[in-house]
Structure 1
Amino acid sequence: MTSKKAQTTVHGAVHSAVLGAIHGAVLGVDIGTSSSKGVLVDPADGTVLATAVRRHPVSRPAPGHAEMDPELWWEEFTGITAELLSGRPGPVAAVGVSGMGPCVALTDADDLPVRPAILYGVDTRATDQIARIGAELGVEEILRRCGSVLSTQAVGPKIAWVAEHESDVRARARRLYMPSSWLVRKLTGAYVLDHHSASQSAPLYDSAAQEWYGPWADRVAPGIELPPLRWPGEIAGRVTAEAAAATGLTAGTPVITGTVDAWTEAVSVGAQNTGDLMLMYGTTMFLINTVERRLLEPSLWSTVGAFPGTRNLAGGMATSGAVTEWLRALFGSPGHAELLAEADASGPGAQGLLMLPYFAGERTPVADPRARGVIAGLTVEHTRGDLYRAALEATAFGVRHNVAAMRAAGGDVRRIVAVGGGTQGELWTRIVSDVTGLEQEIPTVTIGASYGAAFLAASSVGAASIEEWNPVLERRVPDPANTARYDELYGLYRDLYPATARIAHTLTDAHTLRDAHTLPDADANGPRRPGS
């Protein structure tokens, strides 16, 4: 097939693309919270040729801390790549990468990590720095310039935390990485970051101008060389000879810039048009609404999209699948199918149980790192199926809360596409549709971020259509009778947090202060919510 130059419109932005056959499979690897996943994909139609997974724990050295060694990301990437390429002849046409974020991985001048990477909003250590920087720069001014107020999701306060608590470590720090950009550096030698990840790096990035904001970067992260910015699907560089020897890839293979995993999840299901909402079922729950213009809402995150010209309004719950996994461990680790069957039998309302899913604080729209999980209505008659059902319903109520906040902020939620491991088994997605009253599309492939990274890689070297790669497989249509029942329970859900917040905060602070005496890395002041 002869290649030809053409102008194609992608989600409102015009790009110049080389259309034609792609020679070889494409590789996508995602570094997630609980595992790293890789896929090898046929670019002609999106068929998954091979998959590989590496599971890993999150280090929690003190209350509110969540960390991971960046060297582990590269180790797992090389292992995944070797497994995917084993016994499969033929070249890899391009490599796509993504990862959890925004994270803070600091390195010295030789690109050696100076400490473990601080993870995204699940790490709540920097609440004092959030309050201080917000007071210094002005909360409203930060919102206007950066698109989001400072929260546990923000990068700047975590860099400030390192400066205040590990001054010797901070003194050696020269560069800032996230999982995707770390892989790009290891593969190509390029030091880059994508615009979307940068837009979650408040207060370092001006989301209106779409560039680093020097005055605040110099103030909050002095001495850090911020990376040049690219779009997630742009080619950042090519595999070096050294990286080729470590991975089995061919030297010279193009590697895209990549981005945060939730955004490649959205790419993987084609949720990139105005009115689309990507709902990611995973260890945490993430929601991304593509909006027509830049919207500013303090309780949500306004970000740059994965493609030039796109804007998003996003939300994230601190736990979702993490709660069901915690329950499963408490129950002796029975199979998921067994627990889902018992939860299904429990029925709407979980036999009188109501849960707040704030087991690691909450991100949006509550924005309270001191919030905690609550299970109301317990009796000795309740079963593990009831508890499991209550957890699924709690995350569904959280989704409804976020969707309501998005609509109140001006977001347009017209089409919901579900993705992630939690879409398997039907029950969870059915509960979410019943609770929200909204239909969901379930695509053929729900692998998520690694698949989206592979699609971006394919698009960087040829023509690819996500509609052809990943068509809709089935739909979840809400049951009106169940929705009416959940409408009543949702009101109670919304009442439960303010009714218990003071108690949760008191218990959280007491626990944090107690552990501070035995955990040397803990902040002796404990986490504090800005303004409390």
Structure 2
Amino acid sequence: MAVRTTLGIDIGTSSSKGVLVDGDGVIVATAVRAHDVSRPHSGWVEMDASIWWDEFVDIARELCSAAPEAEVAAVGVSGMGPCVLLADEHDDPVRPAILYGVDTRATAQIERITRELGADEITRVGGSLLTSQSAGPKIAWVAETEPAAWDRARRLFMPASWLARKLTGEYVLDHQSASQSSPLYDIEREAWHAQWWERYAAPLEPPRLGWAGDLAGRVTADAAAETGLAEGTPVTIGTIDAWTEAVSVDAHGSGDLMLMYGTTMFLVATGDETLRTPSMWTTAGAFPGSRNLAGGLSTSGALTAWLKGLTGADYPELLAAAEAAGPGARGLLMLPYFAGERTPIQDPDARGVVAGLTVEHGRGELYRAALEATAFGVRHNVETMRAAGADIRRIVAVGGGTQGQLWLQIVSDVTGLAQQVPETTIGASFGAAYLAAAAIGEAPGSIAAWNPIAATITPHTEHAARYDELYGQYLRLYAGTREVVHELAAAQRLS
């Protein structure tokens, strides 16, 4: 007897993940494909969009083969973002996709467009200042620096919308992703800003807008032949992975903060009001009527992976050594800005700093300092969100990093906040599968029925004083090294 399932696939920074989920929220099968980004120059982070579709096809075929009794009733898509993938009229990419805020190439365009439109007007219309997270300046960068590619460009895609296009033939983008395409989107009108689109994005055709859980269309005959999915299967519009992760753990209600532990760290606070602050990102939510104040660290899991490769140790060894190092890492303090930083400092020229290092320190202290550095970054973001008016009453953790108890505990100890950890933390692919089930009326009213809270991490109050002291030093360390670090970043761009 066939088991009705939904397929959720997410295209992430370091891997693509897929799940088949039945009507009770039970994961029937999973699949992963690892990949790498390209860094052709300092500050550039790109990816060949063919990876997105090829891995979708591989994962879909693997999952369907692993569970031949499963009938895929609907497909949910998700992906990192906001990205800029420009394609011609035949949907052939004109260049590799430019990734989200970790790509910092468009600094000159950010400055120029801000001068032309005015910071206050950009914030009034779009909700946020232009930063390395904004898609608009990256589109302008292509127009100004790669005229041959720009002459061919006709459409704008992000990973989820690219998958929807390949599956259904529909050209559509969700409101949440659009709201991170500043200055091209009007957040209060929930529509493209026609005048600014014409000024900075012509001759691109604006994609039709919808919400993450809306249906983009149905699987075409050509896509069915490639993927093994049945022709006519419904496909959702989808959205950016962090927002799909929030859906996966039921952390998209007013007062919720989703904390995503991944290659980068992402925070999404949800409310009913459009909050504006220069150091965070104001966006539309995944669902109609919701608004978010969001932030992100440019490195978190990427930093721990870097240390793993540098030391040659495996994660269990590093975690054991880090736990033995104790709070404060025996006098080490790190700034985690190894790829610049997004929020709240919005400094693409920030760089990593390790202070207090001696020949007596080892890999355990370095790994502990890296975990604590990301925790200080989370605290900085949470305090900035609250200062802007965010009402944060509940924190839910999600992502691959939640498998490590020590990292979770350090974040709670540094912030003084409890974190709820759900039963399933696989992330955006699970949320995408839920949205697909909801779109065809086959999901419970809340994903909490699929994914209940399994544990709560509470702060160790005995560490509060030490971490308060270190957090103050963390803020001072950035201020004290910023000028020198910016000079080094300028030299790196010339190398």
1:340 to 293, 315, 319: 319
Correspondence for 1:195: 175
Q: What are the equivalent positions in structure 2 for 1:86-97 lying under 5 Å apart? A: 86-87=65-66, 88-97=68-77
- 1:112: which partner in 2? 92
Residue in 1 that maps onto 2:124: 144
The one of 405, 408, 418 aligned to 2:384: 405
Matches within 5 A, 1:2-17: none
2:393 is aligned with 1:429: no
Structure 2 counterpart of 1:467? 448
| Paired letter, 1:469 | W
How far does residue 425 in structure 1 lie from its aligned partner after superposition?
Answer: 2.2
Aligned-partner Cα distance in 2 for 1:162–1:260: 22
Please name the residue that 2:38 is paired with: 59
Q: Which residue of 1 aligns with 2:458?
A: 477
Which of the residues 382, 389, 406 maps onto 2:368? 389
In 2: Cα distance, 1:359 partner to 1:182 partner: 29
2:332 to 343, 353, 372: 353
Query: Partner of 1:91: helix, strand, or coil?
Result: strand
Whether contact under 8 Å (1:337, 1:425) holds in the other structure is no
1:71 aligned partner:
50
> Given residue 182 of structure 1, which amino acid in structure 2 is its aligned partner?
W
**Aligned AA for 2:301?**
G
Measured in 1, the distance between the counterparts of 2:326 and 2:197 equals 52
Aligned partners of 2:3 and 2:22 also within 8 Å: no
SS of equivalent to 1:132: helix
Tell me the equivalent position of 1:526: none
Residues matched between the structures, number:
491
SS of the residue 2:32 aligns to:
strand
Whether contact under 8 Å (2:272, 2:291) holds in the other structure is yes
Gap regions ≥5 residues in structure 2: none
Structure 2 Cα separation of the partners of residues 27 and 330 of structure 1: 37
Partner of 1:457: 436
Which amino acid counterpart does residue 227 of structure 1 have in structure 2?
A: P
1:485 positional shift: 1.2
Q: Verify: 1:237 aligned to 2:205, yes or no.
A: no
Does the 8 A contact of 2:64 with 2:70 survive in 1?
no
| 1:268-299, Cα deviation, whole Å (9 max, x unpaired) | 00001111000000000000000230001110
- Counterpart of 1:18 in structure 2 is none
C-alpha separation between the residues in 1 aligned to 2:335 and 2:391?
A: 26
> Paired residue for 2:474, among 489, 493, 500?
493
Matched, 1:221 2:201: yes
Q: Unaligned stretches of 5+ in structure 1?
A: 1-21, 516-532
Q: Is the 8 A contact 1:190 1:237 kept in 2?
A: yes
Distance 1:23 1:297 in 2: 48
Alpha carbons 2:155, 2:205 under 8 Å: kept: yes
Q: Which residue, 64, 67, 75 being the options, matches 1:85?
A: 64
Cα offsets for 1:186-212 (capped at 9, x unmatched): 000010000000000000000111000
Matches within 5 A, 1:285-364: 285-332=265-312, 334-364=313-343
Native 8 Å contact 1:26 1:42 kept in 2: yes
Confirm or deny: 8 A CA contact 1:184 1:257 kept in the other structure.
Answer: yes
3-state SS in 1 of match to 2:235: strand
How far 1:23 moved relative to its partner?
6.7
Which among 466, 481, 485 is matched to residue 504 of structure 1?
A: 485
- In structure 1, which of residues 262, 271, 288 is the aligned counterpart of residue 251 of structure 2? 271
Residue identity in the other structure for 1:59 = S
Q: Which amino acid aligns with 1:493?
A: Y
* Distance in structure 1 (CA, Å) of the matches to 2:21 and 2:253: 24
- Match of 2:260? 280
Alpha-carbon distance between aligned partners in 2 of 1:328 and 1:46, rounded to the nearest angstrom: 34
Please report how far the alpha carbon of residue 89 of structure 1 lies from its aligned counterpart in structure 2 after TM superposition.
Answer: 2.3
Letter in 2 for 1:367: Q
Aligned equivalents of 1:183 and 1:325: distance in 2?
A: 28
Equivalent pair of 1:23/1:93 in contact (CA under 8 Å): no
Answering whether residue 75 of structure 2 is matched by residue 98 of structure 1, we say no
Supply the AA of the counterpart residue of 1:372: R
Among the aligned pairs, what percent are the same residue? 65
What whole-Å deviation, never above 9, does each CA across 1:486-530 have from its counterpart, x for those lacking one? 0111000010101000000001101212x2xxxxxxxxxxxxxxx
* In 1, Cα distance between equivalents of 2:407 and 2:486: 30
CA contact (8 A) 1:205 1:212 kept: yes
**Which moved further from structure 2: 388-397 or 82-91?**
82-91
SS across alignment from 2:293: strand
Is 1:25 the counterpart of 2:5 in the alignment?
yes
Q: In the TM superposition, what whole-angstrom CA distance separates every residue of 1:381-411 from its partner, at most 9, and x where no partner exists?
A: 1010110000000000000000000000000
SS at match of 1:24: strand
1:15 maps to: none
2:280–2:343 Cα contact (<8 Å) kept: yes
1-side partners of 2:184 and 2:341: how far apart? 23
- Alignment partners' CA distance in 2, 1:354 and 1:502: 18
Q: CA deviation at 1:90?
A: 3.6
Contact 2:341 2:348 in 1 (8 A): yes
Once the two structures are TM-superposed, the CA of residue 335 in structure 1 deviates from its matched residue by: 2.0
**Which residue of 1 is the match for residue 240 of structure 2?**
260
Point out 4+ residue stretches in structure 1 off by more than 6 angstroms: none
Counterparts of 1:183 and 1:457 in 2: how far apart (Å)?
Answer: 14
Q: In structure 2, what is the Cα distance between the partners aligned to 1:187 and 1:495?
A: 50
* Coordinate RMSD, CA, aligned: 0.9
Selected match of 2:166 from 168, 178, 186: 186
Q: Are the equivalent residues in 2 in contact too, given 1:28–1:450 (CA < 8 A)?
A: yes
Contact between 1:37 and 1:52, CA under 8 Å: does it hold in 2? Answer: yes
Q: Secondary structure of 2:330's partner?
A: helix
